[in-house]
Amino acid sequence: MKTFYLSLLTCLACLFCPIPANAQSDTLVQDTFALTETLTTPTISESETPEGVHQFVKEKFIEGNAGFMSLVAVTLVLGLALCIERIIYLSLADIDTKRLLTGIDEALQRDDVEGAKSLCRETRGPVASICYQGLMRIHEDMDVVERSIVAYGNVQAGYLEKGCSWITLFITIAPSLGFLGTVVGMVMAFDDIEQAGEISSEVVAGGMKVALITTIFGLIVALILQIFYNYILSKIESITTQMEDAAISLLDMILQYNVHKRPM
């Protein structure tokens, strides 16, 4: 576009300005072409000037030992996959407990046990599941109802904690792989010293670099997974607390229902 406007400007100058001498004409043409090249020269984009963080990480990953760095990367990928799966599951399991209990209470006050059960079936999450188990035994003794709720609550708690042991395993493995790479890097450094027959910074630098890079990446992976793991634990504790509160409230509702239904 700049070239088009510059050509148009040159044509207008030739039409409305007097024709100069040969020497002056050559100078004008040269200046015009110089200005055209200046305006049309592509500028260096921001992406081409400084290297990004990902490029820096990529270079350091390649500089480290390929075997150990690949193991650390696999640990990060598997650990993040488990963390994301747990976060999605726990987010879906977290519901509005007060709204559910209010609906169950209103249904029981109307003597609509089936309506309360239907509400629990249509609601996702462990809180609705333990409420449904309690309502299934609403006409039995309170001890039976309580044991049923506690037993099924333990089952649901196990579902919430599913896969967390693997996350802790990857948190432990990541720095261990980094330290193993450190030991291997030190061994490589001593091998280089033995082959060279002398101790110099150039000989030792390669092995030391591998040792430090693997340790850094292993610790970074462990820190990332630890942050996700703590968030998962907080979600599990929150849902477990909701389950306990819901179980107590449901027992009170069932007790009041049976008192009202008991013949005088």
Asked if the structure places residue 59 within a domain, the reply is no
Question: pTM of the full predicted structure?
Answer: 0.70
pLDDT in tens, 163-200: 899 999 999 998 888 888 777 777 777 777 777 766 66
Query: Using CA atoms, how far apart are residues 236 and 194, in angstroms rounded to an integer?
Result: 54
Asked if the structure places residue 93 within a domain, the reply is yes
Asked if the structure places residue 186 within a domain, the reply is yes
Report helix, strand or coil for 140.
Answer: coil
Residue with tokens 């148009």: 8
Predicted local confidence at residue 29, as pLDDT: 43
Predicted local confidence at residue 62, as pLDDT: 59
Asked if the structure places residue 78 within a domain, the reply is no
Asked if the structure places residue 256 within a domain, the reply is yes
Asked if the structure places residue 15 within a domain, the reply is no
Count structural domains, the chain.
1
pLDDT in tens, 99-127: 999 999 898 888 888 999 999 999 999 99
φ/ψ region of 94 (left if φ > 0, alpha if ψ in -120 to 50, else beta) reads beta
Predicted local confidence at residue 235, as pLDDT: 94
Predicted local confidence at residue 60, as pLDDT: 60
Helical ranges in the chain per DSSP H: 2-16, 22-40, 53-63, 66-93, 97-109, 113-122, 126-136, 142-160, 164-196, 201-261
Query: Using CA atoms, how far apart are residues 90 and 66, in angstroms rounded to an integer?
Result: 36
Asked if the structure places residue 151 within a domain, the reply is yes
pLDDT, tens digit only, all 264 positions of the chain: 444 444 544 544 444 444 444 444 445 445 544 544 444 444 444 444 445 666 655 566 556 566 677 888 899 999 999 999 999 999 999 888 899 999 998 988 888 889 999 999 999 999 999 999 998 988 888 888 889 899 999 999 999 999 899 999 999 998 888 888 777 777 777 777 777 766 666 666 666 777 778 888 889 999 999 999 999 999 999 999 999 999 999 999 888 887 776 554
Q: In the Cβ-directed half-sphere of 74, how many Cα atoms lie within 13 Å?
A: 8
Asked if the structure places residue 34 within a domain, the reply is no
User: What are phi and psi for residue 16, nearest 5 degrees?
Assistant: -100, -10
Provide the residue range defining the domain that includes 203. 86-264
Predicted local confidence at residue 39, as pLDDT: 42
